[in-house]
Amino acid sequence: MSKTAIIIPARYHSTRLQGKPLIKVLNKPIIQWVWEKAIRVKSADTVIIATDNQEIYDCAKSFGADVEMTSENHKCGSDRIAEVAKKYPDIAYIINLQGDEPMINTDCVEELIRQIKENNEADIATLLTEIQEQDSHDPNSVKCVVDINGYAMYFSRSKIPYERNSGISKFYKHIGIYAYKREALFKMTSLPQADIEKTESLEQLRALYYGMKIKTSIVEYNSIGIDTQEDLNAFKQLVEK
């Protein structure tokens, strides 16, 4: 049987917000908020948390999650989920749901799974949402341009496309959740990092550099990822209302 798994990478050490998976909001750790959203996705057969930290492992076990301990040496979340996926040969589709996305929309995840299953040419699928021109300058908001068939042409922290002529093109923000076909995940994580990936610090550029195809879906959901203390404060205010 070809299964679909949501794997949630969660590491303790973060340069901007140390130990964020364990930070509690309304007496519930952030990683639990994400997991509770993930288990509501009907198209997923299983949800697994992947971590390199014993505290996160124990925390995940305490609220009933399936959790796997992984190496501390991974450079990115895709490497971590690949280690877990190799243990489960019946998993054909792997969703990389970041452990700092507690407000992820489950309908968007369903759309992502549909795209990766229905598009034979796609190696990877991901999500975009339209943003305003004034928000396109923020380097923390990754932008994407796509071709006529909805496949990603490039991702950048810079504003793309550059407006030589204004008011023509729309701007799309990348939502950092991915769906991989099994062999595509193993291929990407086995390839050496590309210079453009290192320059922008965007792992999806490795896939594009080596000719892999990333299918995008445009959704209305705008992610609330928790990267900084300001993000955490905004999330607290939202849920406490």
Tell whether 39 is covered by a domain: yes
Both 83 and 147 in one domain: the answer is no
Q: Take residue 185 and report the two structure tokens written for it.
A: 């995940």
pLDDT given at position 78: 87
pLDDT given at position 184 = 97
Domain boundary (81, 104, 127) is at 104
Domain end, chosen from 56, 74, 104, is at: 104
Is 74 found in the same domain as 157? no
Q: What is the pLDDT of residues 128-164, one digit of tens each?
A: 999 988 788 989 889 999 999 999 999 999 999 999 9
DSSP string, 83-129: HHHTT-TTEEEEEE--TT-TT--HHHHHHHHHHHHH-TT-SEEEEEE
Q: How many domains does the chain have?
A: 2
In a domain, 239, yes or no: no
Both structure tokens of 39 = 């288990």
Alpha-carbon Rg for the chain in angstroms? 17
The answer on 197 and 137 residing in a single domain is yes
Is the separation of the CB atoms in 68 and 59 below 8 Å? no
In a domain, 230, yes or no: no
Beta bridge partners of 132: none
- DSSP string computed for 17-85: STTGGG-EETTEEHHHHHHHHHTT-TT-SEEEEEES-HHHHHHHHHTT-EEEE--S--SSHHHHHHHHH
- Domain assignment present for 189: yes
Q: What is the pLDDT of residue 217?
A: 95
The pLDDT assigned to 235 comes to 86
What is the C-alpha to C-alpha distance for residues 41 and 190, in angstroms, rounded to an integer? 29
Residue 57 shares a structural domain with residue 96: yes
Task: Tell me the backbone φ, ψ of residue 93, rounded to 5 degrees.
Answer: -130, 130
Residues of the chain with pLDDT under 50: none
43 domain residue, yes or no = yes
What pLDDT sits at residue 132? Answer: 83
Quick one: 99 and 121 in the same domain?
Answer: no
11 in a structural domain? yes
Do 24 and 122 share a structural domain? no
Q: Is residue 236 part of a domain?
A: no
> Is residue 122 domain-shared with residue 48, that is, in the same domain?
no
User: Whats the size of the chain, residue-wise?
Assistant: 241
* Beta strands 91-96; 171-181: pairing state: antiparallel
Q: Are residues 156 and 118 in the same domain?
A: yes
CATH code where residue 190 lies: 3.90.550.10
CB of 57 closer than 8 Å to CB of 72: no
> Quick one: pLDDT at residue 16?
63
- Phi/psi region, residue 175 (left: phi>0; alpha: psi -120 to 50; beta: rest), is beta
Residue 209 resides in a domain: yes
Write down the pLDDT at residue 206.
Answer: 96
- The boundaries of the domain holding residue 29 are 1-104
CA angle centred on 178, ends 197 and 1, rounded to 5°: 130
Q: What is the pLDDT of residues 12-28, one digit of tens each?
A: 776 666 778 888 988 89
